[in-house]
Amino acid sequence: MSISDGQPAIVFHGVWKSFTRHAGQLLIRDRIKQRLHGHHVEKFHALRDVSFIVRDGESVALIGHNGAGKSTVLNLTTGLCRPDQGQVEVHGRVSPLLELGAGFHYDLTGAENVRINASLLGLSRREVNHKFDEIVAFSEIGDFINEPLRTYSTGMTMRLAFSVAVNVNPDILIIDEVLGVGDLNFVAKSLERIMEFRRAGKTILCVSHSVETLKSICERAVWLDHGRVLDDGPIARVVEAYKNAMSQHAVSAG
């Protein structure tokens, strides 16, 4: 089966998304002011008419400068927010590997955090019991698993969070800037686990500042610029075009 024949896993169709810059103005006082002075709330357009389809088993990188809308695409895919206009369709279980360790608490032990994090990611009691040993083994935390998280090094915390996320067994894995953490061994092991996902025919959507990492994981890239899709195609070509644009930008700015 060639890739283009796969069923769509993620569909963005004419998606617009804007955020209001309220700058913390959420008290009654501010609300009344907004009413009195008319609605001059400043809006920031994160995505403007973005369309693309990711098919089952594809691994796609999102590239672009800071604020181009990469994270907004990931958050819409995860289901954290909804588009202003257009449609976002997602078929399958999504596991966000973004900002690892959401819900981790430093006074609780590693084991307690694993259970909490796994249930937040949608695992049932049975699944957690079944996978617990595997998660702990993969993280290489060892006996520290029963110690409070505040005794862990940053690398250990990241390893634990990564182990939970990859063991959720998602259909769609979302990776946001997480592969730079931990020692080289663990990075290699994480990459290996992600490649296993690819071989198993899972869909991957990935954001990273490391172009080399993206090239090793993904076959296709979507280039976002100020909320629009500038290019979409084989990763080597898109990354090349992106690099050229960046260096030109640097020259003209310098």
Binding site for other proteins (CB under 8 A): 19-20, 22, 26-28, 31, 75, 78-82, 90, 93-94, 96, 98-99, 102-103, 105, 107-108, 112, 115-116, 119-125, 128
150 vs 243 by CB, closer to other proteins: 150
112 vs 219 by CB, closer to other proteins: 112
Supply the minimum distance, in Å, between the C-beta of residue 179 and other proteins. 18
120 vs 188 by CB, closer to other proteins: 120
- H helices of 121-182, in order, are 125-139, 154-166
Q: How far is CA 90 from CA 81, 84, 87, 108, in A?
A: 13, 17, 10, 34
127 vs 231 by CB, closer to other proteins: 127
User: Residues 81, 75: contact at Cβ < 8 Å?
Assistant: yes
Supply the minimum distance, in Å, between the C-beta of residue 47 and other proteins. 13
Exposed e or buried b for every residue in 37-69, given b needs 16+ CB within 10 A? eeeeeeeebbbbebebbbbbbbbbbbbbeeebb
Supply the minimum distance, in Å, between the C-beta of residue 158 and other proteins. 15
Question: For strand 8-20 and strand 43-55, is the pairing parallel, antiparallel, or unpaired?
Answer: antiparallel
98 vs 166 by CB, closer to other proteins: 98
Amino acid at 5: D
Helix axes 154-166, 184-199, angle to 10 degrees: 10
User: Residues 43, 122: contact at Cβ < 8 Å?
Assistant: no
Supply the minimum distance, in Å, between the C-beta of residue 177 and other proteins. 13
Supply the minimum distance, in Å, between the C-beta of residue 63 and other proteins. 22
Supply the minimum distance, in Å, between the C-beta of residue 238 and other proteins. 28
Our measurement of the distance from residue 84's CA atom to the centroid of its chain's CA atoms, rounded to an integer in Å, reads 20
How far is the C-alpha of 113 from the C-alpha of 107, rounded, in Å?
10
88 vs 239 by CB, closer to other proteins: 88
For the chain, helix (H) and strand (E) counts, in that order, are: 8, 9
Supply the minimum distance, in Å, between the C-beta of residue 32 and other proteins. 11
Amino acid at 72: T
84 vs 219 by CB, closer to other proteins: 84
